[in-house]
């Protein structure tokens, strides 16, 4: 590699320090399409999926070198008359090596991205009832998690989560279900929060009635440290708005809302050998991100859209104004192994502000490299978080600096095994 190539490679990515906070700008990409409203994760490196109206099918958007417009590839098409329309879509955040899934009003779509074959699977819903979510639970046993929205009296709708088997293109109830709550309308926006998730073939659901987290493998109740730790300490935690479990490390994150309408992050960890310390850790690992509120220009701030990167190196959450949830300010927090220098898993001292996306419509992670991708219906915003350790850091004049500064992310890169 020539010296010129090395210089160009080093300055591809920049981090700017503004008022003491680290900012990392995205790439702005169009994929050659007029609109990209929905994106979702797929089993393809450095790519996301979308639904394309013109080709009436599922398309992969494949990213390339920095700044280059991505390529598009039709994966499956014409398996329905109108694949892209004014439906209430919910895209599965997990997938198998060759299959993805999404729900669409009265049915789900199961698509093999290797063969291009896709089909609709129903669940015996009436004309007033909807399917509002789907996840793979145990693909080997054809077990799925499906969210149903059932219309009741006075326009009120009851949402419930079901474990179902897929048989002859039809979802059959296994008998395991739990209520999620009531709502008066169905939102077509990307969901702010989830009080359920699938992790390592286990389904976790927050039971509002009993204020506990239940865990099942789809057939019977299962003991898991995350749900057990919450159920022991629920009295110390506010209203559960959302929760996420790290892909490999022994901890999870809860977004809690306090009676004062403030939002915090609670980390539940089960790497502790002394059970008496567990209750103490629920309080000590209590992150208040309110100090970002004025910096982001928010009069009030809530938290939403949390997730971990597929490799587990990053935790991303959106800081939102309660009256403008579709215009979040995203922040990325490095996930670091526990040591004397990093007593907690979330390194909030080195969080990075990714920026605000006005009119956000959908979110997806990529792997190989790890990138966070957000659509606003017109452009894709892509942050290559794997490249942060190599970014050149500049301090803005208002911070007393002008020019380059040594990057803290090189140290983070070494923690990730990338430097």
CA 352: distance to chain centroid? Answer: 17
CA 67: distance to chain centroid? Answer: 24
Q: Give the C-alpha separation, 44 to 60, whole Å.
A: 8
How many other C-beta atoms lie within 10 A of the C-beta of residue 407? 17
- Secondary structure string (H, E, C) spanning 71-102: EEEEEEECCCCCCCCCCCEEECCCCCCCEEEE
CB 83 within 8 A of CB 56: yes
Q: Give the C-alpha separation, 174 to 383, whole Å.
A: 41
pLDDT tens across the length of the chain (419 residues): 444 444 445 568 889 998 888 999 999 998 777 689 999 999 999 999 999 999 999 999 999 999 899 999 999 999 999 998 888 899 999 999 999 999 998 899 999 999 999 999 998 887 778 898 999 999 999 999 999 988 877 667 888 999 999 999 999 999 999 998 877 666 778 888 999 999 999 999 999 999 999 999 999 999 999 999 999 888 888 899 999 999 999 999 999 998 777 898 999 988 865 555 555 555 546 677 888 999 999 999 999 999 999 999 999 999 999 889 999 999 999 998 776 666 678 988 889 999 999 999 999 999 999 999 999 998 999 999 999 888 888 887 765 554 444 455 555 555 555 55
**For the chain, what is the total number of helices (H) and then of strands (E)?**
5, 31
Query: What is the DSSP pairing of strand 118-122 with strand 107-112?
Result: antiparallel
Q: Give the C-alpha separation, 8 to 309, whole Å.
A: 27
């Amino acid at each position: 590699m020539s010296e010129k190539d090395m210089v160009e490679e080093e300055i591809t990515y920049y981090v700017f320090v503004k008022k003491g906070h680290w900012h990392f700008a995205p790439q702005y990409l169009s994929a050659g399409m007029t609109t990209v409203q929905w994106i979702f994760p797929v089993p393809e490196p450095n790519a996301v999926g979308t639904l394309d109206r013109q080709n009436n099918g599922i398309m992969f958007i494949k990213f390339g070198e920095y700044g280059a417009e991505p390529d598009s590839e039709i994966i499956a098409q014409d398996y329905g008359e109108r694949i892209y329309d004014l439906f209430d879509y919910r895209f599965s955040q997990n997938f198998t090596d060759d299959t993805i899934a999404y729900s669409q009003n009265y049915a789900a779509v199961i698509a093999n991205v290797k063969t291009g074959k896709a089909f609709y699977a129903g669940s015996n819903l009436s004309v007033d009832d909807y399917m509002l979510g789907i996840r793979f639970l145990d693909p080997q046993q054809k077990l799925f998690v499906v969210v149903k929205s059932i219309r009741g009296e006075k326009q009120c709708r009851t949402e419930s989560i079901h474990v179902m088997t897929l048989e002859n293109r039809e979802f059959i109830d296994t008998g395991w279900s739990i209520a999620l709550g009531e709502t008066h309308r169905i939102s077509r926006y990307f969901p702010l929060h989830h009080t359920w998730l699938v992790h390592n073939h286990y389904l976790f659901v927050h039971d509002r009635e009993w204020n506990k987290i239940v865990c099942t493998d789809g057939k019977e109740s299962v003991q898991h440290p995350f749900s057990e730790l919450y159920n022991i300490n629920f009295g110390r935690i506010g209203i559960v708005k959302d929760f996420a479990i790290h892909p490999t490390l022994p901890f999870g994150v809860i977004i809690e809302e306090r009676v004062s309408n403030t939002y915090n992050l609670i980390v539940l960890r089960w790497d502790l050998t002394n059970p008496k310390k567990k209750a103490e850790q629920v309080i000590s690992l209590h992150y208040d991100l309110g100090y970002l509120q004025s910096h982001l220009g928010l009069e009030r701030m809530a938290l939403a859209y949390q997730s971990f990167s597929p490799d587990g190196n990053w935790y991303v959450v959106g800081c939102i104004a309660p009256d403008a949830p579709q215009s979040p300010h995203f922040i990325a927090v490095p996930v670091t192994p526990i040591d004397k220098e990093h007593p907690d898993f979330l390194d909030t001292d080195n969080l990075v502000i990714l920026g605000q996306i006005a009119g956000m419509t959908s979110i997806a992670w990529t792997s190989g490299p790890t990138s966070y991708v957000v659509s606003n219906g017109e452009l894709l915003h892509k942050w290559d978080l794997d490249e942060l350790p190599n970014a050149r850091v500049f301090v803005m004049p208002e911070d007393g600096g002008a020019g380059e500064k040594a990057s803290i992310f090189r140290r983070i890169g070494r923690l990730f095994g990338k430097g």
